[in-house]
């Protein structure tokens, strides 16, 4: 079976310095290749500034790559024109690190959960509200919070809401860009269990971006380690965790104290 | 509602303070309208003193202020020495012309600044954006005075536009359509001067505010739902960037108003500007005070309007203002 997502030799340069015509280019992605089979989770681990978020934006068709291919269900999405990408974008949804800034502060929880339907002009207004409420149920946000605005929700509820919004258009791939990093431990555990539950019930495929090996170990089938715009090591989660071969992987693992115990703590929390 | 009430009370309080200060400052200036008469040997000192008494200039300041406040409460603004008539109707005719100029210029400046700023933010850092940024920067450093004079020279050299006044001679005989056209051609230069002076700042603010929100994750999320770029810029981004821009709107009314007073003097537009200038030079006390107060009312009105817009545009302000 072909993988849901296959990235080949992806390069993304940003202009260094303040002006766009500057000759110096900064390589955020320097020949990245990876693939994610359907209904699995790939954890992309790396330090901040290693190019993880740039890769996420390129895969979600929100930033054009400089060169390389992104195959999504066998279609090279990087080669598509803007208006074709726009049709494809709903299939790949993002959840960001900071739930507060990823939700429009002027809107209520219900507004936010129904916004994707509005953008896609799906359903009638009452139907949108019903479906949005179902989405809130799905991520266990109490119905009494539906009419509250974002600043009245807790951090965990905000991230649940962001996940609900990402689920609205029934995407095939969900990119979680440090989606758990800003949350405290018990909330992290709740949300990661929610993600696992959604994967088994909806058959979701995840690209889970993190700097935390403990979270990667808990959620991922495969792990890819990224450093300075390159994937330095990748393989099954057990293999990377038990016998890391690259020094970047080893130093990242060393920076994750008790990475073997932590997942159990999270599961039981 | 409490928010709006509080804002209105602020505005009234502010107007009260301004009237007091204007009164105080004009009382501090040496001499008054009648002092030059003392130099005239044909007018007896007794006659001058009588005039002083008639206009109560011999009374202490608090009494005069109280007297003036009482007049304001009755819809009068005192008496002009130079025009020998009540100030209120005199000001009103001129204020109408100033408003015509300022309101037109404000609307035009914003209608141009919004799309230009948004477009510039969408092209942030690219060639088109940089050309526009340089243009606005250049316009910003040119003083209003030079801009207005330059346009005036242009009008004189080319003869495309009338070089002053509100309407042409024989305006009353024209048909309504021609009246409008005549008025428009007279307005073109002063409005152009005002728009060119105010718009660069507005464009830059719109660009900065929109560029800032374009990077926020919730706009990225909206794009990932398949939102078109046009809707993203004009719907989502503009609304998210609206608060500082609405506050700027109130501020821009003030800038355009003070700019208008200057442009009116240069282009002989019969608004408050020339009237105020003459009144200050002649020490026509109550015209000055009335003119300043009226300008303040426009300014405060503009800001109050901005507050109402803000209240209407942002649900967060509505909740913060009303107790739960």
Query: Helix or strand or coil: residue B168?
Result: coil
- pLDDT at B323 > cutoff 70: no
Dihedral sign of CA atoms B303, B309, B313, B316 in order: positive
Contacts with B133 from chain A: Cβ below 8 Å = none
Confidence bin at B322 (pLDDT 50/70/90): low
Quick one: which of B271, B265, B277 has its CA closest to B99?
B271
Which CATH class, in words, describes the domain spanning B87-321?
Answer: mainly alpha
Asked whether A78 and A98 are in contact (CB, 8 A), the reply is no
Domains held by chain A: number: 1
Quick one: which of B178, B34, B198, B23 has its CA closest to B103?
B198
Q: Show the tokens assigned to B137.
A: 């920067």
Per-residue confidence (pLDDT) for residue B170, from 0 to 100: 73
Q: Rounded to a whole number, what is the distance in Å from the CA of A57 to chain B's nearest CA?
A: 9
Contacts with A119 from chain B: Cβ below 8 Å = 222, 225-227, 231
Q: What is the CATH number of the domain that holds A239?
A: 3.40.50.300
- What digits encode the pLDDT tens for the residues A202-213? 889 999 998 888
Q: Rounded to a whole number, what is the distance in Å from the CA of B76 to chain A's nearest CA?
A: 46
- What digits encode the pLDDT tens for the residues B17-32? 888 888 888 777 777 7
Confidence bin at B320 (pLDDT 50/70/90): low
**Are A104 and B227 in contact (CB < 8 Å)?**
no
| pTM, entire model | 0.77
**Are A102 and B227 in contact (CB < 8 Å)?**
no
Lowest mean per-residue pLDDT among A206-210, B34-38, B319-323:
B319-323
Per-residue confidence (pLDDT) for residue B40, from 0 to 100: 76
Contacts with A93 from chain B: Cβ below 8 Å = 224-225
* Residue segments in chain A with a per-residue pLDDT below the cut of 70: 1, 16-25, 257-269
- What digits encode the pLDDT tens for the residues B250-285? 888 888 888 898 889 888 888 889 998 988 888 888
Q: What is the ipTM of this complex?
A: 0.79
- What digits encode the pLDDT tens for the residues B110-166? 999 999 999 998 888 888 889 999 999 998 888 888 888 888 888 888 877 777 777
Query: Helix or strand or coil: residue A28?
Result: strand
Cβ contacts of B240 within 8 Å, gap of 6 or more: A104, A106, B213, B216, B218, B219
Report the side by side order of strands in the sheet with A41-46.
Answer: A92-95, A173-177, A205-210, A41-46, A222-227, A230-236
Per-residue confidence (pLDDT) for residue B324, from 0 to 100: 39
Q: Show the tokens assigned to A106.
A: 């002027």
- pLDDT at B200 > cutoff 80: yes
Selecting from B225, B314, B319 the residue whose C-beta is nearest the C-beta of A116 gives: B225
Span between the terminal Cα atoms of chain A, in Å:
36
Contacting A with CB below 8 Å, chain B residues are 125-126, 130, 216-218, 220-229, 231, 236, 239-240, 314-316, 319
Angle at the Cα of B127 (from B124 to B132), degrees rounded to 5? 75
**Are B221 and A96 in contact (CB < 8 Å)?**
yes
Quick one: which of B110, B24, B103, B12 has its CA closest to B60?
B24
- pLDDT at B14 > cutoff 80: yes
More confident: A226 or B78 = A226
Q: Show the tokens assigned to B266.
A: 């240069």
- What digits encode the pLDDT tens for the residues B230-243? 888 888 888 888 88
A41-46 and A67-72: which strand pairing? unpaired
Quick one: which of B115, B32, B94 has its CA closest to B285?
B32
Per-residue confidence (pLDDT) for residue A23, from 0 to 100: 53
- Structural domain boundaries enclosing A242: 5-268
Per-residue confidence (pLDDT) for residue B30, from 0 to 100: 74
Q: How many contacts (CB atoms, under 8 Å) link A and B?
A: 72
In sequence order, what DSSP letters do the residues of A161-230 get, joined into one string? HHHHHHHTT--SEEEEESTTTTS-HHHHHHHHHHHHHHHHHH--EEEEEES-HHHHHHH-SEEEEEETTE
Selecting from B126, B221, B231 the residue whose C-beta is nearest the C-beta of A20 gives: B126
Asked whether A35 and A6 are in contact (CB, 8 A), the reply is yes
Q: What is the largest CA-CA distance in chain A?
A: 55
Asked whether A62 and A55 are in contact (CB, 8 A), the reply is no
**Are B223 and A89 in contact (CB < 8 Å)?**
yes
Q: What is the largest CA-CA distance in chain B?
A: 86
Q: Which residue has the tokens 């609405």?
A: B246
Asked whether B317 and B3 are in contact (CB, 8 A), the reply is yes
Q: What is the mean pLDDT of chain B?
A: 84
Selecting from B130, B218, B227 the residue whose C-beta is nearest the C-beta of A103 gives: B218
φ, ψ of residue A113 in degrees (nearest 5): -70, -25
Q: Rounded to a whole number, what is the distance in Å from the CA of A236 to chain B's nearest CA?
A: 29
**Are A149 and B314 in contact (CB < 8 Å)?**
no
Asked whether A108 and A49 are in contact (CB, 8 A), the reply is no
- What digits encode the pLDDT tens for the residues B90-115? 888 888 999 999 999 999 999 999 99
Instruction: Name the H helices within A203-246.
Output: 213-219, 237-242
Per-residue confidence (pLDDT) for residue B205, from 0 to 100: 93
Quick one: which of A218, A217, A221, A208 has its CA closest to A249?
A217
Q: Show the tokens assigned to B149.
A: 């004079």
């Amino acid at each position: 079976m072909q993988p849901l997502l296959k990235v080949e030799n992806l390069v993304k340069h940003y202009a260094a310095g303040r002006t766009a015509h500057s000759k110096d280019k900064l390589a955020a992605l320097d020949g990245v290749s990876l693939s994610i089979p359907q209904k699995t989770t790939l954890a992309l681990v790396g330090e901040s500034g290693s190019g993880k978020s740039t890769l996420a934006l390129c895969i979600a068709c929100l930033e054009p790559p400089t060169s390389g291919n992104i195959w999504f269900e066998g279609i090279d999405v990087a080669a598509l024109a803007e208006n074709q990408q726009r049709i494809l974008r709903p299939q790949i949804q993002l959840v960001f690190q900071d739930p507060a800034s990823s939700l429009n502060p002027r809107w209520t929880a219900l507004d936010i959960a129904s916004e994707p339907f509005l953008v896609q002009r799906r359903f009638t207004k009452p139907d949108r509200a019903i479906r949005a409420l179902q989405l809130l149920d799905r991520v266990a946000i109490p119905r009494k919070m539906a009419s509250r605005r974002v600043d009245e929700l807790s951090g965990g509820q905000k991230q649940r809401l962001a996940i609900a919004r990402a689920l609205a258009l029934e995407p095939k791939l969900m990119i979680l860009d440090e989606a758990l990093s800003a949350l405290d431990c018990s909330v992290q555990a709740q949300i990661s269990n929610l993600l696992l539950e959604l994967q088994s019930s909806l058959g979701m495929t995840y690209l889970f971006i993190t700097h935390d090996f403990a979270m990667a170990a808990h959620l991922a089938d495969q792990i890819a380690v990224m450093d300075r715009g390159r994937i330095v090591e990748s393989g099954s989660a057990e293999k990377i965790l038990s016998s890391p071969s690259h020094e970047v992987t080893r130093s990242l693992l060393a920076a994750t104290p008790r990475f073997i115990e932590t997942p159990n703590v999270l599961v039981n929390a | 509602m409490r928010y709006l009430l509080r804002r209105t009370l602020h505005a009234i309080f502010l107007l009260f303070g301004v009237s007091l200060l204007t009164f105080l400052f004009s009382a501090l200036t040496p001499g008054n309208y009648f002092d030059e008469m003392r130099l005239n040997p044909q007018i007896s000192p007794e006659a001058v003193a009588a005039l002083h008494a008639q206009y109560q200039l011999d009374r202490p300041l608090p009494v005069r202020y109280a007297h003036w406040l009482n007049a304001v409460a009755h819809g009068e603004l005192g008496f002009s020495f130079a025009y020998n008539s009540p100030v209120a109707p005199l000001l009103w005719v001129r204020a109408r012309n100033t408003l015509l100029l300022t309101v037109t210029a404000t609307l035009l400046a914003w209608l141009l600044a919004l799309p230009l700023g948004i477009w510039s933010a969408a092209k942030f850092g690219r060639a088109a954006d940089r050309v526009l940024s340089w243009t606005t920067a250049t316009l910003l450093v040119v003083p209003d005075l030079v801009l207005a004079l330059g346009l005036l020279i242009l009008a004189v050299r080319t003869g495309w536009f009338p070089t002053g006044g509100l309407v042409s001679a024989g305006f009353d005989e024209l048909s309504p359509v021609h009246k409008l056209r005549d008025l428009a051609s007279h307005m073109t230069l002063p409005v152009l001067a005002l728009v060119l002076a105010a718009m660069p700042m507005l464009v830059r603010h719109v660009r900065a505010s929109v560029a800032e929100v374009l990077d926020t994750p919730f706009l990225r999320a909206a794009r990932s739902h398949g939102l078109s770029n046009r809707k993203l810029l004009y719907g989502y981004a503009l609304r998210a960037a609206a608060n500082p821009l609405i506050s700027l709107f109130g501020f821009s009314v003030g800038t355009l108003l003070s700019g208008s007073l200057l442009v009116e003097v240069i282009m002989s537009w019969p608004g408050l500007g020339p009237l105020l200038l003459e009144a200050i030079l002649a020490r026509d006390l109550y015209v000055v005070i009335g003119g300043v107060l009226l300008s303040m009312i426009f300014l405060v009105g503009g800001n109050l309007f901005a507050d109402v817009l803000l209240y209407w545009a942002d649900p967060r302000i509505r909740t913060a203002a009303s107790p739960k």
